[in-house]
Amino acid sequence: MCGIFGYVGDKDVCKVLYQGLKSLEYRGYDSAGIAVIGDSLSFVKDAGTVDQVLSSIKLPSKRAGIAHTRWATHGKPNQINSHPHFDENMKVGVTHNGIIENYKELKKDLMAKGHTFKSQTDTEVIPHLIEDYLKLGNFEAFKKAVSMIKGSYAIVAIIDGSEKIYFARKFSPLVLGANDEYFVASDVTAFLRWTNQAIFIEDGEVGYIQSKKYYIEKGGVEVKRKPTTIEWSFEEAAKDGFDHFMLKEIFEQPTTIRNTLVSKKLEEFANHLNTLDKLVLTSAGTSYHAANAFKYASNIPIDVIVASEFTSLYRGGEILAISQSGETADTMTAVRYAKSLGSKVDALVNVVGSTLTRIADKTIYTHAGPEIGVAASKTFTAQLAALYAVDAHMKGNPLPQIDVKPGLLHSKEIKKLATKLSGAKSMFYIGRGPNYVSAMEGALKIKEISYIHAEGYQGGELKHGPLALIEKGVPVVAICPSDKYREKMIGNIEEVKTRDAYIIGIGQEDDNELKSLSDTFFGMPKTDYPTVTYAVPLQLLAYHTAVIMGRNPDKPRNLAKSVTVE
Ligand code: M6R
């Protein structure tokens, strides 16, 4: 996820772009850049925050420019990889949000035609492609380039000698701001201080803005669309109208999982793992739960060691460290310890260029975009998606088909249940097999943001102690898809039902037995990946309970997003 912004009008272009970009910084904050149209194209870009890179710049601009705040996906955050990107003749400048899946093939063809590339990004193919077709005319060249790109994108481009800003959208958000002058941005926060009139661009649409005019077309036919009046405040708009970043991030999961699954690097990494006879996973918190899910799925022997215990338990073998931030101190200590013993270290990380990626021998990425809420949500399901995709490649199976939308549809009913849970002193989450991982993650989520004490247990372990704590009304969340663990789980649910626990069953929608055992039941479609799909209702349960209890789920007490102390 990145923030893109363009402006055509009479105001000071650099100042407008800087101010707009500041409001988009929540979408990415590892690098920033601006390009403007003057007598020629000129630009400033570098690694760093919007303030560090752009607060005091002045460029010779004539009325139009584009800007970008980056969250790296291809290539480390540095000056060369920052946006905007240009062709070698400085004719075309482009900023892009999304992932170009066929960029390697396009780059090869363009290089064969004599184009030279500077960066490691997928984006850089776009200005070269546009430049290659400029003889068709600017807009035709832009459309031709867009038609050749596969993947997800919001693109804005400027072309030397023109005062238009060209745009295109597929699967990545893009919206125009319209009054007497025009804006194009990843979201309305970028231009809300100047206009609340927004024209939302749909997938497959291309067009341009220029002084006092905009044009949109789809499939060669002009699209007429009236502006929508935005009633949101700045803050609401940054959250896309959601009350909290965590809720927004939960709802982003269909996209973030898709973006992660299509990564080409996963297959390469799977081939590498197939050469090993053992792998040791290490990580913390939610990332530790993702590691455990991989252990249940994989055919190769896997040890999972929680990072804070690593130096006591590690006995050798190649490491896969999993971390959203790539900065967690416990995980870094584990990795450094393994390296000091001569072991190879691989990493699965969300933040490109983070410390862990610099230490690791091999890094693969989740493509979940920045996660602002302290509680991991979309990055957990992205980790699972990446690991299940690696597992599928290792076994020669097709890529996982994962649909998390059904879980999102339960949000309203979960909110009703949350009112009931808000009085609970303690809760239990139970599951068997990989669903035990879901139980651990569900319990972590609710304790982290609602502060209700919660335990995740293997269904079979209840009778070895915790059953003593089950009494009338204690909420027990039973994670029970219709898989090979179901029958025994039903037995475990009966054990707590007999003690008058309040059963919240999550299982396959046609499971009438589970439904009748449950006081509240959430039905889910049949799935081969319940750890991913069932994560969504568990996240929503934690979120709504926290909000009803008056907690701020984005900033839970005593916790930080990146835990950089041991
Ligand atoms: O950035 P990391 O994945 O290394 O972070 C590990 C944990 O600190 C993190 O998952 C934490 O448990 C989350 N806040 C849980 O929601």
125 and 54: one domain? yes
CA of 433 to the centre of ligand 1 (A): 22
CA of 135 to the centre of ligand 1 (A): 51
378 and 416: one domain? no
Is residue 561 annotated as part of the catalytic site, yes or no?
yes
The last residue of one of the domains, among 207, 231, 255, is 231
Q: Which one-letter amino acid corresponds to residue 23?
A: S
Nearest CA among 56, 62, 22 for reference residue 41: 62
Which atom number of ligand 1 is nearest to the Cα of residue 375?
Answer: 16
- Name the closest-CA residue to atom 11, ligand 1: 285
89 and 9: one domain? yes
Which atom number of ligand 1 is nearest to the Cα of residue 285?
Answer: 12
Task: Find the angle CA(427)-CA(329)-CA(294) to the nearest 5 degrees.
Answer: 60
343 and 386: one domain? yes
pLDDT of 30 reads: 85
512 and 440: one domain? yes
Q: Catalytic: which of 2, 91, 107, 248?
A: 2
Which atom number of ligand 1 is nearest to the Cα of residue 325?
Answer: 1
Which atom number of ligand 1 is nearest to the Cα of residue 445?
Answer: 16
47 and 187: one domain? yes
- Name the closest-CA residue to atom 9, ligand 1: 285
pLDDT of 91 reads: 97
- Calpha distance 363→381 (Å, rounded): 18
The last residue of one of the domains, among 385, 402, 419, is 402
CA of 163 to the centre of ligand 1 (A): 46
Residue 105, domain member (yes or no): yes
pLDDT of 355 reads: 83
Mutate to test the pocket of ligand 1, among 356, 563, 564, 566 (most ligand atoms within 8 A of CB): 563
- Calpha distance 483→308 (Å, rounded): 33
Residue 562, domain member (yes or no): no
- Name the closest-CA residue to atom 16, ligand 1: 375
**What is the DSSP secondary-structure string of 56-92?**
T------SEEEEEEE--SSS-SSTTTSSPEE-TTS-E
Mutate to test the pocket of ligand 1, among 244, 286, 448, 562 (most ligand atoms within 8 A of CB): 286
* Cα–Cα distances in angstroms (integers) from residue 230 to residues 171, 187, 198, 210, 242, in the given order: 22, 11, 7, 22, 14
519 and 371: one domain? no
Q: Which domain holds residue 275?
A: 239-402
Residue 560, domain member (yes or no): no
What CATH number does residue 99 fall under? 3.60.20.10
The last residue of one of the domains, among 402, 433, 454, is 402
What CATH number does residue 465 fall under? 3.40.50.10490
DSSP 509: T
How many separate domains does the chain show? Answer: 3
189 and 308: one domain? no
DSSP-based three-state secondary structure for 417: helix
Which atom number of ligand 1 is nearest to the Cα of residue 563?
Answer: 8
Nearest CA among 304, 303, 313, 308 for reference residue 284: 308
Contact 1, 370 (CB under 8 A): yes
Residue 561, domain member (yes or no): no
pLDDT of 559 reads: 81
Q: CA neighbours within 13 Å on the CB side: how many for 314?
A: 30
- Name the closest-CA residue to atom 7, ligand 1: 285
Q: Which residues line ligand 1 (CB under 6 A)?
A: 284-287, 323-325, 328, 331, 374-376, 444, 448, 562-563
289 and 147: one domain? no
Q: Which one-letter amino acid corresponds to residue 390?
A: V
Q: Per residue in 119-148, is it b (16+ CB within 10 Å) or e — as a string? A: bebbbbbbbbbbbbbbeeebbebbbbbbeb
Q: Catalytic: which of 144, 362, 415, 561?
A: 561
CA of 313 to the centre of ligand 1 (A): 21
Residue 445, domain member (yes or no): yes
Residue 393, domain member (yes or no): yes
Residue 83, domain member (yes or no): yes
155 and 263: one domain? no
Mutate to test the pocket of ligand 1, among 287, 320, 350 (most ligand atoms within 8 A of CB): 287
CA of 193 to the centre of ligand 1 (A): 35
CA of 437 to the centre of ligand 1 (A): 15
pLDDT of 236 reads: 72
Ramachandran region of residue 141, left (φ > 0), alpha (ψ -120 to 50) or beta?
Answer: alpha
CA of 176 to the centre of ligand 1 (A): 36
What are the residue ranges in the chain where pLDDT is below 70?
1, 234, 564-566
Residue 565, domain member (yes or no): no
124 and 26: one domain? yes
Residue 139 phi/psi, 5° resolution?
Answer: -70, -40
Model pTM score:
0.78
DSSP-based three-state secondary structure for 228: strand
Contact 374, 555 (CB under 8 A): yes
Q: What is the 3-state secondary structure (H, E, C) of 97-166?
A: EEEECCHHHHHHHHHHCCCCCCCCCCCCHHHHHHHHCHHHCHHHHHHHHHHCCCEEEEEEEEECCCCCEE
161 and 290: one domain? no
Which atom number of ligand 1 is nearest to the Cα of residue 448?
Answer: 16
- Name the closest-CA residue to atom 14, ligand 1: 375
CA of 555 to the centre of ligand 1 (A): 13
- Name the closest-CA residue to atom 12, ligand 1: 285
Contact 434, 456 (CB under 8 A): no
Which atom number of ligand 1 is nearest to the Cα of residue 286?
Answer: 10
